[in-house]
Amino acid sequence: MPFGSRSWWAGLLRDGFGVGFWGFAAFAVLSGLACYLVLGPEAFGVALDDDLDLLLGTVPRIVAALAVAGLVWAMLPRDRLTRLIGRHSGLRGLAIATAAGIVTPGGPTSAFALLAVIGGGGADRGALVAYITGWSMLGVQRLIVWDVPFMGVEFSATRFVVSLPLPIIAGLIARALPLRLTLAAPTGPEAGSR
Amino acid sequence: MSVGALVLGAMFAVLAALAAARRDDTLRRGMERAAEQFAKLVPRMLCALIAAGFVAQLIPSAFIARFLGADAGLTAILVAAGAGMIVPAGPVIAFSIAAVFARSGASVPALIAFITAWTLFAAHRIFIYEIPLLGLSFLRLRALSVVVLPLLAGLIATAAGWLATGVAAP
């Protein structure tokens, strides 16, 4: 499917509005209904209002994050990545992946898009789990923007220190679990070459 | 503009310049992938964000808070971890709930378990990003790998508290 062709656009539409989308739409309607019936129209209005604010703030950031992840994916030196955080990278690979997760800026869009990038680029399962766990639990941006204002410096520092070894433990568990891992195939013309 | 958006914007400018300097199809391929992921994510995300706001309103945080006191020990950590797993929304809501818990006397290890569980299992992230971009088999692997972490974080925090106050274990 060449970029920009009619079939490419059709593929985009299929991806965007497939079964998954309608499932989500149904869930949104049902939870809205439950909220309205259980908590009344006022709580419904508050929730909807917050949601719309959140949406307006989120979409521009998603565009930026996906553009960055797309470029990283196109330029990533795969062999070097495999050496750093591939199957034989040991504890050091897990530590590197955790550190990368901690410093990854931006919200879930950039983190998960980059996770898909390094997953396709030869990172092993332990490193993938360590990376996203490091980002989830310890991401500096969330710590500074959310933890500190809401919970205070002392609590946030305690949480950070207590959690520091945990992404590596998760990576070790992921390497030990006897599960098959098949990553979602990327769409588009590159799918075959990875 | 938030700091995060500025950082992302700057990163994009640098990467786009580097990609363009290669004078091959790198820039085009990168943008193509971005457009494809955008199509996959954004329509679902709109619905999921709206649903998350409603579900968050439905969580009985004041009721849960009663079980999180320091005297509840391991039970508090377990309840808090369970509560963290079911918060299907972003940081505004999760931290507001954590603040409710803190005000009603939740222990530090319980709060740490709650926040850790939320960061790892926030359902909106799983449905909006993880399943479309990585797939179910990755979700299964990750969930099984990290499910004990909220508990571990709470226990380590408990041990750290004992060390800090110099009190022997009760």
pLDDT digits (tens, 9 = 90+) for A6-27: 888 888 888 778 777 888 888 8
What is the rounded average pLDDT of the residues A64-90?
83
How far is Cα A167 from Cα A171, in angstroms, rounded to an integer? 6
Confidence (pLDDT) at B73: 81
Q: Which residue has the higher pLDDT, A117 or B114?
A: B114
**What is the C-alpha separation between B120 and A134, in angstroms, rounded?**
10
User: What's the rounded Cα separation, in Å, for the pair A104 and A134?
Assistant: 9
Closest-CA residue in chain A for B142? A129
Tally of CB atoms within 10 A around B82: 15
Which ipTM was obtained for this model?
Answer: 0.80
Establish if A34 touches chain B: CB-CB under 8 angstroms: yes
Closest CB to B4 among A43, A61, A133: A61
Q: What is the pLDDT of residue A171?
A: 96
Most A-contacting residue of B32, B86, B111, B128 (CB-CB within 10 A), to test interface: B32
Tokens 């530590």, located at residue: A95
- For chain B, which ranges sit under pLDDT 70? 1-4, 166-170
Helix (H) or strand (E) holding B20: helix B3-21
Query: What is this structure's pTM?
Result: 0.80
Q: Are B111 and B145 in contact (CB under 8 A)?
A: no
Q: For residue B46, list chain A residues with Cβ-Cβ distance below 8 A.
A: 55
Which conformational region is residue A19 in: left (phi greater than 0), alpha (psi within -120 to 50 degrees), or beta? alpha
Give the integer Cα–Cα distance in Å for A121 and A75: 11
Q: Cβ separation of A125 and B34 shorter than 8 Å?
A: no
Three-state DSSP state, B68:
coil
CB-facing half-sphere around the CA of B150: CA atoms within 13 A: 29
Check whether A162 has a pLDDT greater than 90.
yes
Contact B19 A20 (CB under 8 A): no
Q: Are B130 and B139 in contact (CB under 8 A)?
A: yes
User: What mean pLDDT do residues A158-177 have?
Assistant: 95
Chain A residues in contact with B138 by the CB 8 A cut-off are 119, 128, 181, 183-184
Contacts of A188 in chain B (CB under 8 A): 32-33, 36
Q: Please determine, for residue A110, whether its predicted confidence score (pLDDT) is greater than 80.
A: yes
Chain A residues lying within 8 Å of B38, measured CB to CB: 62-63, 66
The count of CB pairs under 8 A between chains A and B is 287
- Whether the pLDDT of residue A42 is over 80: the answer is yes
Which chain B residues have a beta carbon less than 8 Å from that of A3?
A: 28, 32
Host H or E run for residue B131: helix B131-133
A 53-72 residues with CB below 8 A of B? 54-55, 58-72
**Residue A49: what pLDDT?**
81
B169: left (phi over 0), alpha (psi -120 to 50) or beta: beta
pLDDT for position A185: 60
Say which residue, A60 or A181, is predicted with more confidence: A181
* A150 contacts B95? CB cut-off 8 A: yes
Q: Give dist(CA A125, CA A127) in Å, integer.
A: 5
A156 interfaces chain B, CB cutoff of 8 Å: no
